[in-house]
Chains A and B, each alone.
Chain A
Amino acid sequence: MENYITLTIDNREVTVPEGTSILQAAHKAKVNIPTLCYHEDLCVAGNCRICVVEVEGSRTLTASCSTPASNGMVIHTSSPVVRNARKDIIALLVSEHNTQCTTCYRSLNCELQSLAAEYNVDNTRYLSVLKPNIQVDRSSWSIEKDDSKCVRCQRCVRTCSELQHVNAITVAHKGKDMKISTFMDLPLNEVVCVNCGQCVIHCPTGALTERRYYDDIWEAIGDPNKHVVINTAPSVRVALGETLDYPPGQRVTGKMVAAMKKLGFDSVLDTDFTADLTIMEEGSELLLRLKKAFRDKENVALPMISSCSPGWVKYIEHMYPEHLDNLSTCKSPQQMFGTLAKTYYAHKIGVKPEDIVSVSVMPCAAKKYEANRPEMKASGFQDIDAGLTTRELGRMIRQAGIDFGKLEDEKFDSMMGDSSGAAVLFGATGGVMEAALRTVYEIVTGRPVPFKNLNIMAARGLEKIKETSILLKGCKPEWDFLEGVELRVAVAHGLKNARTIMEQIKRNESPYHFIEIMACPGGCIGGGGQPIPTNDAIRKKRIAAIYAEDEGKEIRKSHENPEIVQIYKDFLPEGPLGKKSHKLLHTHYTKRNRY
């Protein structure tokens, strides 16, 4: 039985379970206390002291995020003492900050900026002690690190450790020299950073941001000799609205397409198309592995693990290079799209591949790195020229002065613009699994998956690791060796949970045949390129929007997408895993160093 306590916050009584922090109790009492180092995804650090409150009878002010409430406490959250203390703290932060809001990417979405404005901080209160000559680290394709804008809240370090278990960044040195650093302060591209961008969406300021490429896109759009195609990932349409003043969870697919057409892209296509293609290739690859294992009794790497999340791919390359065989050889939908844009699509519309600029909009920071991997040139050119984040697309729409709310819905262009509901699922954790099962089960048995409305509920939700199994019964003759096999699958999101799965594989105790892993908590809807803030409440809303989008689609299985049927007929006649598929749609991996 939980014990409850009652306390008074700003004259309001509130009852909470014992152990609740003052901050959480205040939330319950609908009292807002400002925070900076606190983030609901992370453990409490209590290092910034913005959240101080006055507790009657206590000699000093108390940090509300790190102090448990106790019975009978009387708390004031906005008394003059408290406000002056906060103002002082903010002024001190500003005194060592490179306050360049006019040119800062996070301006108007920065926690330090809004605190300073809210508390009317006087920047002459303290002399500036900003360290001179701080260099911005732009070594990585994905992440930009500017220590001159860091408030040393350590949210990034906790993210990289608690959520991702990468620990690429750490707190180094002490006192006034304390800074966020990699090993030996090496550039980010030389360390184990997997480019997931989770540190970016947890950073309150402009100290960590994604590398931005939208200026290059404006250039390309303005160049009459270039044919610029854009494709958007499933999770962008359920989050983009947030950057344009819509509430979380609002689907803006049609308006998004309309906006991109207005921006001047020559063709607006959908990554969902290649998500369906991924299912065809990856599903066939799984079946091939199962065939080798069950029928031919060959030694083949099982479980097979999904490979669409480039943060996850780099993680396994660094941390478990001995298990790269378990990784599906399928490229991610982004990279499949890029290759096809400069081959299949270019040929069909009669444009030279060198004149095509392929742009993708992703919920992701790691996709920027992926696009620049040296092996991603299967078309003979760089397959994807630039990867933008959801935030960058939002920025471009604002830059163009488009009144987003007033746009009429439009449809994706054809050829690589159609998609099934299954493809949309890629945006949420468990989605690849659900999409793959919808297709694989039907290939093997000739019947749709035996779940109500095709919805595989066991793959859904924010649980750390989800597992389920599906009995293969009534298999078609060519798949009779799978008769009675219980296909066991698991889904993990966030690299911390991926690690649990991998340790199990390492111990040779993994009971699964197929595993989906996404680097970011919640899957792509919680990706490092998504709108800030992102937290569990917002993740859930975006996930709900993904499932609504799936339900709203007429076609809900990848193999029934007519454009997919078409491309196999016209361009990949050998079918999934054929020679051409291998050359264009599959890839190989690199062993990397863990330390």
Chain B
Amino acid sequence: MTLVESTVTELTLKYGKERRQLLPILRGVYEKFHYLSDESMVEVARQLDISSAEVFGKATFYSFLSGSPQGEFVIRICKTIVCDMKNKKLIVDTLENLLKIKMGQTTHNRKFSLCYTNCLGLCHKAPAMLINNEAYTDLTPDKVRQIITSYKNR
């Protein structure tokens, strides 16, 4: 059994094989591999007995389920208007500068990825970003530097 097969098998044992378990299973695969490869989507389809196109459709609907390899820590910066007005640009510049990558890219050591996301619902504390499931708000360049340093040391 390949690693993909065993991972999906574990997940279907945990959640069951009904079609409605597709999302938790996809999340599980994502957490393990930091992305959904075509191989993993086919395996999920096979085990749930649904079509691979259906898995692909669901997976591409959710921005948090990336189809390309992501770093261990995915940094998502809100691209919506309030954060924009509160100087999101400065935060993006700081991040790109710290990590030496552009938005949409992943660092060579596969530790960090940078991308945009829609409104995080944290507009009252804009600008905001997410690192994996952790939210960071009222960002300033200094604060961002501290946060990234702490992640680099993890």
Residues of chain A at the chain B interface (Cβ within 8 Å): 161, 166-174, 181-184, 191-192, 594-595
Contact = CB atoms under 8 A, between A and B. Distances in A.
Given A173-B61, A174-B61, A595-B45, A183 B50 contact: no
6 contacts: A171-B57, A171-B61, A191-B53, A594-B46, A595-B51, A595-B52
Nearest to A177: B60
Contacts of B8: none
Given A167-B50, A183-B51, A183-B52, A595 B57 contact: no
B38 interface: yes
A181 B51 contact: no
Nearest to A168: B53
A172 B54 CA distance: 9
B53 A183 contact: yes
A181 B53 contact: yes
Dominant secondary structure of chain B at its interface with chain A: helix
B54 to A, nearest CB: 5
Given A183-B51, A192-B51, A595-B51, A170 B46 contact: no
B42 A595 contact: yes
Given A167-B53, A168-B51, A170-B56, A183 B41 contact: yes
A167 B51 contact: yes
Contact of B60 (A161, A166, A172): A172
Name the 4 nearest CB pairs between A and B, nearest first. Answer: A170-B57, A167-B51, A170-B53, A183-B52
A169 B54 CA distance: 8
Interface centre among B41, B50, B55, B57 (most CB of A within 10 A): B57
Interface residues of B, number: 15
A171 B51 CA distance: 13
A184 B56 CA distance: 7
A170 B38 contact: no
Contacts of A594: 46
Interface in B38-71: 38, 41-42, 45-46, 50-57, 60-61
Nearest to B41: A183
B43 to A, nearest CB: 9
B57 A184 contact: no
A168 B60 CA distance: 16
Given A192-B53, A595-B52, 8 more contacts: A161-B54, A167-B50, A167-B51, A167-B53, A170-B51, A171-B61, A174-B61, A183-B52
Contacts of B57: 170-172, 181
Given A167-B53, A168-B51, A595 B61 contact: no
A102 to B, nearest CB: 33
B26 to A, nearest CB: 14
Interface in B13-44: 38, 41-42
Contacts of B45: 595
A331 B107 CA distance: 57
B42 A170 contact: no
A174 B56 CA distance: 12
A168 to B, nearest CB: 6
Contact of A169 (B42, B53, B55, B61): B53
Contacts of A184: 38, 56
B107 to A, nearest CB: 26
A359 B41 CA distance: 41
Contacts of B56: 170, 172, 181-184
Contact of B51 (A166, A173, A174): A166
B60 A173 contact: yes
Contacts of B55: 183
Contacts of A166: 51
Interface string B127-139: 0000000000000
Nearest to A174: B61
Nearest to A180: B57
Contacts of B41: 183
A147 to B, nearest CB: 15
Nearest to A171: B57
A155 to B, nearest CB: 15
Nearest to A182: B53
B126 to A, nearest CB: 21
A167 B42 CA distance: 13
B60 A595 contact: no
Interface centre among A172, A183, A594 (most CB of B within 10 A): A183
Interface string B100-133: 0000000000000000000000000000000000
A184 B39 CA distance: 11
